[in-house]
Structure 1
């Protein structure tokens, strides 16, 4: 994990006099927005024991994280659903999910802490439910995953600077530059979301034969 302080060198040169407490606040907010909008932070959650005739289960996420959405869902070794099949292996040898992306076989409660299955398990299976989820840092997270620093530090930098430079009557106020950074932030956000949707790769080229 990368501490919020690991981003300071990318930001403080353009924010003279900015307190680190304020910087931490916006760093955390921007990384939460980035992860929520793009689903780039995806990880398998701890498997859940299914119980016969029980439909609702508690979903546990890693410390200092919050659930954004479920992206892949399997029960008893059978892939039932995934958020998107873009970038997935489409070969005949790979089993396709039972449900299409628009009709997930589960629902979540308002707090995203419990999942209720449409297909109630017929038997108890240890670790029978496997979930991959998109996450974001929690409201009080002191650190973020390393890949956000190594792969997306520029996007996060744009987001933080666009916010702070738009503040009025601060030593670092620069509304014109804030607008530039806001544009770069929105572009980076869109591209990161696209990459996450297609499996962090560009779409395969379609080649048409010519005679």
Structure 2
């Protein structure tokens, strides 16, 4: 015996502004997964922006400069703009319409719907994956990382093949002359040094967008963006 669901007015009820979830099959990572966050050189950014913002631009303009995987990322961003996903997400208010549930019994780290200021809706989540990803980014950019989350990032960084390269990128995000000389180089960082962590390391990187992206890509999206 076979069963089939029929959705009346599906173009309306499946719109991204509604949080309905229709699951089929096993959980999978969203398309391109955690690699949605990436940094590009200035020249490349101009080419990317031209492709995304010009309606008549062609994929052929990118093939000689970017891989197929990168082009998929650009197409996703183009879709976010053309389908009003980004517009709908940006209309929501942090800690009023969405945010991170701070209840320690709630195990998810991604943004969830809020029903009032600082009041998360119980056992709910955003049904559209791209809306959830955008609002999760905005939540962490607004609320920054706590000490425990930062410590996770630095422990993971110490396990990377080239932690110095990644750390230099983090440092370059801010004005170097405003950063204590004691932490300007990765080799000078001592995670066991309590005073260095509290007074220099954590205050410097708490709201660093690259560090926040690193946390999301390593500890949030691989587990929850499905």
Structure 1 length-normalised TM:
0.28
Structure 2 length-normalised TM:
0.27
Whose helix proportion is higher, 1 or 2?
2
Whose strand proportion is higher, 1 or 2?
1
